[in-house]
């Protein structure tokens, strides 16, 4: 912080507002930069107390006293000081300490949201995606500027960003900026970076060229890791706009030796839909594909754990929980399910590897029924269940995955229910006082259970299914929940899936080719989930 303040003082005046002068830590920080030809302003209705730590730290050169309230300060001093640099009125000025601090702040916010599972760091619970880390390292050394990681929910896309941050922590030339696409207020990445870094003390717009050149002259390469572009918008068109802007951004970067790289994660189904919505020529200019012919376009697949990654995961589980899972004692289909990182972590937490042998739907039901029944607060499990299914359905209706504590219903008013759901790692804090489900798969499960108990979105007839794919077709999370609904209720609903598979012609005539194709893909995915 001292280096940052000293660097800023090299070109700017500094105004401290809302400071009483009694905070000793801040006084020491200011005092450490004193003794130089800086101008210090004390803006307050009253002069500083001569005995305050700040006055002592700045003696014998006291700050200039400006008798003004906070509103007057903003109008008279802060705006021109922040917007007009003495040495560069038309171009951004980038400061290395400020760049490092802002990058670290964003990364800490990302890791606080995605880097914990319960009370343990996610890097100690989830398997390392070693092969993907190697591939990303190769991408960073290439001249390509955009890489896409696509995979199902729960397979480690977000945790890969946390891993890269950890792996590159001591690297002198690589930096990573972890960003959440769902936090973007615009699809314009340049604006996001301007808000993140900007320059200091200038009124000129953000310059990507100058920023990239500034990084390159310092021997730095910045990987901008944008997680979950499928979460930018519940509507596919919004995700398309974002991805097109990312392609445009990448095309503006230098063709060779760019100091800025984009790493994007997306759910597989959203990626499949995006591919037909973007210009393939523009995409090929910047896109990086591992081991493919030049000009080919294919995302890096974040799929099931490899043998090496599964062994690593089982070793971590044994160290953390003492659970020794023997692959030789499980049937082959159970071993294959263990390659799903989300299920592996959830079942290891239960200390019941035999659950892998049961139907997928029963695994989820068993895991969450046990969690809710053993909540540690003597709360009725059915009350917790009803609150979670209701809020999952509310999120769907609002097209927003965040909610307030009051949305959990009257049982949440005393605070005990919310504390319990947080302790169970089902609900976590989000931005600006909101809450969210701890994981997409958790939200999908309770939304699937909500479909079983609500008449607002029935899934009992072919017409219901057609209406569902029309209204939710671009909402990958809701479609995944609908698939799980069928797995939870397969005995009563299998006939619908069977009808869709064998009557494509009738469905096309009744609902059109687009809806018919969506219904077939949905039925195919349900059947795949059923046998895996």
Tens digits of residue pLDDT in 321-363: 777 888 787 788 888 888 888 888 777 777 677 776 677 788 8
The pLDDT value recorded for residue 28 is 78
DSSP conformation letters of 233-262: -SSHHHHHHHHHHHHHHHHHS-SSS-SEEE
Residue among 73, 125, 124 nearest 345 (CA): 125
The pLDDT value recorded for residue 314 is 85
Phi, psi of 294 (to 5 degrees): -60, 135
The pLDDT value recorded for residue 204 is 56
What 8-state DSSP symbol labels residue 433?
G
Q: CB-based contacts of 283: which residues, under 8 Å, 6+ apart?
A: 247, 297
Beta-strand (E) ranges in 68-134? 116-117, 120-121
- Residue 54: C-alpha distances to residues 37, 58, 77, 371 (Å): 17, 6, 21, 53
Mapped to the 3 state alphabet, what secondary structure does 363-422 carry? HHHHHHHHHHHCCCCCCCHHHHHHHHHHHHHHHHHHCCCCECHHHHCHHHHHCHHHHHHH
Burial grade of 256 (CB within 10 A; 0-12, 13-18, 19 or more): exposed
Q: What b/e string do you get for 416-437 counting C-beta neighbours within 10 Å, with b at 16 or more? A: ebbebbeebbbbbebeeeebbb
The pLDDT value recorded for residue 383 is 92
Least confident among 17-21, 128-132, 159-163: 17-21
The pLDDT value recorded for residue 48 is 78
The pLDDT value recorded for residue 264 is 98
Say how far apart CA 280 and CA 260 lie, in whole Å. 22
Burial grade of 241 (CB within 10 A; 0-12, 13-18, 19 or more): middle
Homologous superfamily of 96-302: P-loop containing nucleotide triphosphate hydrolases (3.40.50.300)
Using an 8 Å Cβ cutoff, are 63 and 42 in contact? Answer: yes
Instruction: Express each pLDDT in 204-233 by its tens digit.
Output: 567 888 889 989 999 999 999 999 999 998
Looking only at the bridges linking them, the beta strands covering 116-117 and 120-121 are antiparallel
Say how far apart CA 282 and CA 274 lie, in whole Å. 14
Angle between helices 440-453 and 381-398 (to 10 degrees): 100
Start-end ranges of CATH 3.40.50.300 in the chain?
Answer: 96-302
Residue 218: HSE in the Cβ half-sphere, 13 Å Cα cutoff: 20
Say how far apart CA 153 and CA 483 lie, in whole Å. 14
Residue among 51, 479, 69, 87 nearest 269 (CA): 479
The pLDDT value recorded for residue 448 is 96
Percent of the chain at pLDDT above 90?
A: 40
Percent of the chain at pLDDT above 70?
A: 84
Say how far apart CA 443 and CA 401 lie, in whole Å. 9
Least confident among 54-58, 64-68, 415-419: 64-68
Q: CB-based contacts of 122: which residues, under 8 Å, 6+ apart?
A: 114, 115, 116, 159, 162
Q: What b/e string do you get for 211-240 counting C-beta neighbours within 10 Å, with b at 16 or more? A: bbebbbeeebbbbbbbbbbbbbbbebebbb
Question: Would the pTM count as exceeding 0.85?
Answer: no
The pLDDT value recorded for residue 202 is 47
Say how far apart CA 497 and CA 486 lie, in whole Å. 9
Joined tokens for residue 477: 């999370």
Cis preceding-peptide flag for 9 (omega within 30 of 0): no
**Cα 314–chain centre separation:** 26
Q: CB-based contacts of 319: which residues, under 8 Å, 6+ apart?
A: none
Say how far apart CA 152 and CA 483 lie, in whole Å. 13
The pLDDT value recorded for residue 238 is 92
The pLDDT value recorded for residue 35 is 57
Instruction: Express each pLDDT in 382-402 by its tens digit.
Output: 999 999 999 999 999 998 899
The pLDDT value recorded for residue 88 is 45
Does residue 37 surpass a pLDDT of 60? Answer: no
Residue among 376, 364, 454 nearest 417 (CA): 376
Instruction: Express each pLDDT in 455-514 by its tens digit.
Output: 888 999 999 999 999 988 778 889 999 999 999 998 888 999 999 999 999 999 999 999
The mean pLDDT value of the chain amounts to 83
């Amino acid at each position: 912080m001292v280096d940052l303040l000293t660097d800023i003082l090299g070109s700017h005046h500094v105004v401290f507002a809302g400071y009483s002068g009694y905070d000793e830590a801040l006084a020491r920080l200011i005092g450490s930069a004193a003794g130089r030809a800086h101008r210090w302003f004390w803006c307050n209705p009253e002069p500083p107390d001569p005995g305050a730590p700040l006055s002592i730290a700045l003696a014998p050169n006291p700050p200039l006293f400006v008798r003004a309230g906070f509103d007057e300060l903003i109008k008279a001093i802060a705006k021109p000081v922040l917007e007009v640099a003495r040495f560069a009125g038309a171009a951004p000025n980038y400061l290395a300490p400020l760049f490092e601090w802002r990058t670290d702040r964003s990364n800490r916010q990302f890791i606080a949201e995605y880097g914990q599972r319960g009370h343990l760091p996610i890097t100690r619970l989830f398997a390392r995606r070693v092969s993907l880390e190697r591939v990303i390292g190769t991408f960073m050394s290439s001249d390509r500027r955009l890489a896409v990681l696509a995979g199902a929910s729960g397979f480690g896309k977000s945790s890969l960003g946390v891993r890269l941050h950890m792996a590159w922590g001591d690297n002198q030339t690589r930096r990573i900026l972890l960003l959440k696409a769902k936090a973007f207020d615009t699809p314009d990445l340049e604006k996001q970076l301007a808000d993140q870094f900007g320059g200091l003390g200038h009124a000129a717009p953000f310059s990507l060229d100058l920023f990239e050149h500034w990084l390159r002259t310092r021997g730095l390469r910045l990987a901008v890791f944008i997680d979950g572009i499928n979460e930018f918008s519940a509507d596919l068109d919004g995700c398309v706009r974002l991805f097109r802007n990312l392609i445009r951004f990448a095309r503006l970067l230098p063709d060779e030796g760019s100091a800025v790289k984009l790493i994007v994660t997306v759910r597989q189904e959203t990626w499949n839909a995006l591919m037909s919505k973007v210009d393939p020529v523009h995409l090929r200019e910047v896109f990086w594909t591992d081991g493919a012919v030049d000009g080919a376009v294919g995302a890096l697949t974040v799929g099931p754990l490899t043998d090496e990654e599964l062994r690593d995961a089982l070793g971590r589980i044994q160290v953390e929980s003492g659970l020794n899972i023997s692959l030789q004692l499980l049937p082959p289909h159970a071993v294959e399910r263990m390659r799903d990182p989300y299920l592996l972590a959830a079942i290891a937490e239960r200390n019941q590897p035999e659950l892998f042998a049961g139907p997928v739907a029963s695994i989820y039901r068993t895991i969450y029924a046990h969690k809710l029944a053993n909540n540690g607060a003597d709360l009725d499990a059915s009350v917790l269940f009803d609150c979670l299914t209701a809020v999952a359905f509310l999120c769907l209706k609002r097209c927003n995955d965040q909610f307030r504590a009051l949305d959990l219903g009257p049982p949440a008013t005393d605070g005990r229910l919310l504390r319990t759901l947080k302790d169970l790692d089902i609900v976590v804090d989000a931005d600006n006082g909101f809450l969210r489900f701890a994981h997409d798969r958790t939200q999908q499960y309770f939304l699937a259970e909500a479909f079983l108990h609500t008449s607002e979105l029935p899934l009992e007839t072919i017409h219901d299914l057609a209406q569902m794919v029309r209204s939710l077709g671009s909402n990958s999370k809701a479609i995944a929940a609908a698939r799980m609904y069928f797995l939870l209720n397969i005995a009563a609903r299998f006939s619908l899936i069977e009808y869709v598979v064998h009557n494509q012609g009738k469905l096309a005539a009744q609902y059109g080719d687009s809806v018919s194709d969506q219904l077939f893909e949905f039925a195919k995915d349900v059947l795949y989930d059923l046998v895996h």
